[in-house]
């Protein structure tokens, strides 16, 4: 009977490798789940992503105008916080915390037209978040869309 008591005493001296792996996996999952919430560098990242998506949509419309040899239009609805184009008619919504400003004055709806020669009507779109903003410019001569994110 002393042999079985000695056997259990040896097993209870520490953790098994499997137990350590399970605990480390759980801790890792919790850390990965909480990282976006606690990351101070993430703040303002939404405006970067939104600006890039809008520029990609503008560039796609320009490419479609050149490729199809027909005018393509990108429409922005500032009140609804969404935009769409002839090339891709599905409406794309911007994140709720981002507001859209159009260079066309007080109107809540604005358009950028792209022509078959690569030119555009030109324009400026301003995306604003709590502490950051992105200015998207479409050059009238070349039709190229660029953006700058700043405070």
DSSP 3-state of 136: strand
Question: Residue 4 pLDDT more than 90?
Answer: no
pLDDT tens track for 6-61: 555 555 678 888 888 888 889 888 888 877 666 555 555 788 889 999 999 999 99
* Report for 28-42, 93-107, 126-140: range of highest mean pLDDT: 126-140
8 A C-beta contact, residue 65 and residue 112: no
The pTM of this model reads 0.69
CA angle in degrees (0–180, nearest 5) for 109-139-64: 75
pLDDT tens track for 79-93: 888 999 987 778 898
- Enumerate residues 6+ apart whose C-beta is below 8 A from 82: 76, 91, 92, 93, 94
Instruction: Round to whole Å and give the CA distance between 66 and 39.
Output: 42
Instruction: Round to whole Å and give the CA distance between 136 and 80.
Output: 19
Q: What is the pLDDT of residue 42?
A: 54
Q: What is the pLDDT of residue 2?
A: 52
């Amino acid at each position: 009977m002393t042999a079985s008591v000695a056997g259990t005493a040896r097993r209870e001296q520490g953790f098994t490798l499997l137990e350590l792996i399970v605990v480390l996996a759980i801790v890792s999952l919790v850390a990965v789940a909480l990282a976006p919430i606690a990351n101070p560098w993430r703040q303002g990242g939404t405006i970067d992503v939104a600006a890039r998506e809008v520029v990609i949509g503008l560039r796609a419309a320009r490419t479609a105008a050149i490729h199809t040899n027909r005018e393509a239009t990108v429409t922005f609805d500032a009140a609804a916080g969404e935009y769409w184009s002839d090339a891709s008619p599905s409406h794309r919504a911007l994140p709720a915390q981002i507001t859209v400003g159009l260079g066309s004055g007080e109107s809540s709806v604005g358009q950028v037209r792209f022509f078959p020669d690569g030119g555009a009507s030109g324009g400026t779109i301003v995306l604003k978040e709590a502490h950051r903003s992105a200015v998207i410019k479409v050059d009238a001569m070349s039709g190229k869309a660029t953006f700058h994110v700043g405070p």
